[in-house]
Amino acid sequence: MFAAGTEDEEPPMALMLVTPPTVEPVTLAELKDWLKIDTADEDVLLTAVIAAARLAVEAASGRKLLTQTWRWVLNAWPASPLELPVWPMQAVPAIRVYNAAGVAATVAATLYQLSNAFLPPRLALLGATPQPGRALGGIEIDMTAGYGGAAAAVPEALRMAVRLMAAHLYENRGDGAPGLAPMQPPPAVAALVGPYRRAKL
């Protein structure tokens, strides 16, 4: 049976990426046009720069930009409703609880409800939820996050932040150039992602 914890007792957790995005918010062609590069000599580097820039913007904004699947692993149930650790949230496709023998039971979708009306999103447990039988990693919650599966689904301000961050990374490749550290977002990026950050009350 489900036994809620208290707000002062948050069970240990781990968060892991299961399925990364299949596209990036900025294409290689868009970045090359932005940087006025018309050769293919650095396409591999620029592709890696775009991915790094997206990760930097996700970290700075606190949001996942494109559809990706994450797994939240818990030792015990937190108090309901649970504050989910990634957003924006599309769905919670599966919750599994493991018994002492390591066999997983899928929690029925009727036993939980997702709400995106809050930030972070909330997951309410609606009744008798099984308790894990093993001490470590007994609960797995799969979450699909991101604005959507295409670059057009990402807010334009965040796409622009990725462009600017990619340009910054490209122009500061560890060659001793003065200014900000390569992974430190420039002020323009910080300004663009600011409105998307979670407000601290």
Domain count, the chain: 1
In a domain, 61, yes or no: yes
- Give the model's confidence band at 114: pLDDT under 50 very low, under 70 low, under 90 confident, else very high: very high
pLDDT tops 70 at residue 96: yes
Can you give the pLDDT at residue 128?
85
**Other CB atoms within 10 Å distance of the CB of residue 27:** 13
**Other CB atoms within 10 Å distance of the CB of residue 185:** 22
**Which structural domain, as residue segments, surrounds residue 142?**
13-194
In a domain, 55, yes or no: yes
Can you give the pLDDT at residue 173?
79
Q: Average the pLDDT over 155-184 and give the result.
A: 81
**Other CB atoms within 10 Å distance of the CB of residue 21:** 19
In a domain, 3, yes or no: no
This prediction's pTM: 0.87
Q: Average the pLDDT over 105-129 and give the result.
A: 94
- Give the model's confidence band at 12: pLDDT under 50 very low, under 70 low, under 90 confident, else very high: low
